[in-house]
């Protein structure tokens, strides 16, 4: 890690329609850490935030493609340098079920990451990627990310999210 993490942004889309979709796998992880019905989530920064000691968790609610607006507002308010930011997101280029971290790494076509990088004027921040894999050849990427996981994938999600939680605990003890 380049700097101690102070802000963890979990990218996703608001609304019941999007809750079980591939694009919201980061929000699924956030809800394992601090359940959505926990009253410690506060509305601000075009999103929901929860403070846990020196760490701030953020769930942007401005939809995926506008996530940067929320992340930039929280970074500004809490005086968080992008080097102390970790963005958790779904990743098409990472095989389903794989979880990894990377410093910088570009946006790899992810519109949420593109929005964050544009809003912060840098791509120099940490990422925790949760693999959702590429769609079959006959499926559009935009449709794929907004669909539910298959039954088989849903059965594997608890284990995948547990691995992501363990990795996150190593990054922000």
Partner residues linked to 128 by β-bridges: 88, 101
Residue listed under structure tokens 């607006």: 69
Is 23 assigned a catalytic role? Answer: yes
| Full DSSP string of 35-103 | -TT-TT-EEETTEEEEEETTEEEEEE-S-GGGHHHHHHHHHHHTT--GGGEEEEEEETTSPTT-EEEEE
Query: How far is 61 from 89, CA to CA, in rounded Å?
Result: 14
**Which residue out of 23, 46, 89, 126 is catalytically annotated?**
23
- Residues designated as active site: 23
């Amino acid at each position: 890690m380049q700097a101690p993490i102070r802000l963890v942004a979990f990218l996703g889309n608001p609304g019941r329609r999007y809750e079980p979709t591939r694009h919201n796998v980061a929000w699924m992880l956030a809800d394992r850490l601090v359940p959505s019905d926990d009253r410690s989530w506060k509305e601000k920064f075009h999103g929901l935030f929860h403070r846990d000691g020196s760490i701030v968790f953020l769930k942007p609610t401005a939809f995926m493609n506008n996530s940067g607006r929320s992340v930039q507002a929280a970074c500004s308010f809490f005086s968080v340098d992008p080097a102390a930011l970790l963005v958790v997101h779904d990743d098409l280029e990472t095989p389903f079920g794989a979880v990894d971290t990377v410093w910088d790494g570009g946006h790899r076509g992810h519109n949420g990451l593109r929005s964050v990088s544009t809003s912060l004027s840098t791509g120099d921040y940490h990422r925790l990627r949760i693999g959702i894999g590429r769609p079959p050849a006959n499926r559009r990427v935009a449709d794929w990310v907004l669909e539910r996981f298959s039954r088989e994938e849903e059965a594997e999600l608890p284990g995948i999210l547990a691995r992501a939680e363990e990795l996150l605990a190593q990054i922000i003890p």
